Chains A and B, each alone.
Chain A
Amino acid sequence: MLTPKERLKLIMEGKKTDRPACICPGGMMNMVTAELMDEVQVYLPEAHTDARKMADLAKAVYEKGCFENYGVPFCMTVEAEEMGARVDMGSKVYEPHVIEYVIDSVCDYQKLTPVDVTKGRAKVVVDAIRILKQETEGVPIVGNLTGPISTASSVMEPVIFYKELRKKSKEAHAYMEFITDQLITFGRAQIEAGADVIAISDPSGTGEILGPKFFEEFAVTYINRLLDALQAEKLGTIVHICGQMRPVYREVNELHSNVLSFDSVVPMKEARAHLEDRVLMGNVSTYALEFGDPERVKMLTRSCQKHGSDILSPACGLGMKSPLANVQSILECLKEEA
């Protein structure tokens, strides 16, 4: 019998396994629900700032039969906050979000504070990974990074950022290099602490927003630079891109990650047809997970599996009110089918 970690490793290497894996990375892909917090009596927003609680909540996701991984953090604001953005920690049901930017233009990036992994919430995340590494085995630990474009548009007004990609190309590249260097620092620290997998979500860097040319020039370039700079000693990497892939399949295929993940607007069948040789992750509708029932979730799970998903996962972050029974149905279904 394979452990979840062994199974994920084989899948990431493109090898055959008994069945698909079932994970939800964390970060933007939130896997914490209100019911889960009640079960283990560990709550957000406290767990965003306390390594012990963060690790305990991450453990609960696996222990309660939701997904076969641990993952931290539970938001996508750590990097921006460490660089100086003001963040509202949210509540039991709302995710943390940036409420005050640091700079007004890509030209001002020297004003940003470089990420220091021995301080603030970057340290909380690294400590939580260390705790998970010490106290568990056989289950992959996923460390999450906010993608370069999403991080870059979290410390300044996104509309200005998007415009300057075109109008101030040279400065925008210098800014993206700085941002990517900060993500590399944070990612390497996560792996050093014991993260087996690094998942990068870049919801603000979609093909739909940027168009193919800028998607390649800014999203693909810097995600790859980040991926290439992470240590080789790890299980693998996942990149999640939101939105339609039709305009950018060719560019997406250039990403150096082991796994590609999409949201539910991308039919798994279409993704498989365009990305024949890639390991694909996805994409059970979070709408069905929140408002459907276990039967519906299982039906969608079987459909994803049939159409070529190697790693079953929710298509996006879970809604906080998603019933535990629905969330547990993805994994249950995979075990039944195997």
Chain B
Amino acid sequence: MSSKEELLKKLSDGVVEMEEDDVAEAAQEYLDAGYPAFDGIMEGLVDGMNRASQLYEEEEYFVTDVLLCSDAMYAGLDILRPYLPEVANDDKITGVIGVVEGDTHDIGKNLVKIMLETAGFNMIDLGRDVPLQQFVDTAKEQNADFVCMSTLMTTTMGGMETVIHLLEEAGIRNKVKVMIGGGPISQKFADKIGADGYSQNAVEAVKLAKRLLNIA
């Protein structure tokens, strides 16, 4: 019988090593031993994902590696999540994320979503090639705190500015922070269109979201 610490390490290491099956097995063993699901997620799975992000920042890991780490994390989450005590989702800070209309490149967006979820945000993923009005409608319906948009194409960058205008028209621009990113996007472009922030990669996006929303 493994101790709680050993199992947490197994969960965390499994995520870093991209071993989906090991993580699932460790998660089941952890539950069977009667340890609390919440700790398993935070100190096991999320800890592993944070270590993966650190490796990504250090350029030891690349995008494909992080995608596989996140698969392993989600394999563990699927098992542990049903055993979490009920928490109202209202307490969580909610973000809407998507790739703007005209573009279907969503690797970067997926990575940002994974990192933000790992950091504890409730993310609503609109997917790719998202009609611009949908960002605004969803933000309004879900009472979102922030909107994240990305694109890899110069030709679709302009859509981000349109979304900001649409948020103004809907009267909710002062309630949501707008973050943007993607290949051709820069801080300069963010300033020009009046976005609240730009981040160059997924790790930076988490730091940016926390800064914009005043979360320690």
Q: Which residues of chain A have a CB within 8 Å of any CB of chain B?
A: 30, 88, 90, 93-95, 97-99, 158-159, 162-163, 165-167, 203-204, 207-211, 214, 242-243, 246-247, 263, 286-287, 290-291, 316-321
Contacts and interface: CB of A to CB of B under 8 A. Distances in A.
A136 B187 CA distance: 42
Contacts of A208: 62-63
Given A214-B62, A317-B153, 15 more contacts: A30-B155, A97-B102, A98-B104, A99-B104, A99-B129, A158-B105, A159-B107, A162-B63, A162-B67, A162-B107, A163-B71, A207-B62, A210-B64, A211-B64, A287-B186
B183 interface: yes
Contact of B152 (A88, A163, A203): A203
A211 B102 contact: no
Contacts of B64: 162-163, 165-166, 209-211, 214
Nearest to B159: A94
A319 B189 contact: no
Interface string B99-132: 0011111110010000000000000000001000
A214 B107 CA distance: 17
Contacts of A321: 158
B71 A97 contact: no
Interface string B33-59: 000000000000000000000000001
A94 B156 contact: yes
B62 A90 contact: no
A247 to B, nearest CB: 6
Interface string B127-151: 0010000000000000000000000
Interface in B54-94: 59, 61-65, 67-68, 71
A82 B65 CA distance: 31
Contacts of B110: 159
Contacts of A207: 62
Contacts of A95: 102, 153, 155-156
B43 to A, nearest CB: 26
A165 B184 CA distance: 26
A153 B18 CA distance: 22
Contact of A318 (B18, B59, B154, B156): B154
B63 A317 contact: no
Contacts of A319: 154-155, 157-158
Contacts of A290: 154
8 contacts: A95-B156, A97-B103, A97-B104, A158-B107, A163-B64, A286-B154, A290-B154, A318-B154
Interface of B: 18, 59, 61-65, 67-68, 71, 101-107, 110, 129, 152-158, 183-184, 186, 188-189, 192
A183 B165 CA distance: 42
Contacts, number: 89
Nearest to B64: A162
Contacts of B104: 97-99
A159 B156 CA distance: 22
Contacts of B68: 163, 166-167
Contacts of B157: 319
A227 to B, nearest CB: 24
A318 B102 CA distance: 15
A76 B111 CA distance: 24
Contact of B184 (A210, A211, A287): A287
A-B pairs with lowest CB-CB distance, top 3: A211-B62, A94-B102, A209-B63
Nearest to A322: B154
Contact of A286 (B67, B103, B184): B184
B204 to A, nearest CB: 14
Contacts of B106: 158
Contacts of A97: 102-104, 129
Contacts of B192: 291
A209 B62 contact: yes
A263 to B, nearest CB: 7
A316 B183 contact: yes
A253 to B, nearest CB: 19
A296 to B, nearest CB: 12
A321 B153 CA distance: 13
Contact of A90 (B59, B71, B102): B102
A167 B101 CA distance: 32
A165 to B, nearest CB: 7
A151 to B, nearest CB: 14
A109 B188 CA distance: 42
Given A163-B67, A211-B61, A214-B64, A287 B102 contact: no
B17 to A, nearest CB: 12
B36 to A, nearest CB: 31
Contacts of A167: 68
B155 A287 contact: no
Contacts of B153: 95, 317
A211 B62 CA distance: 5
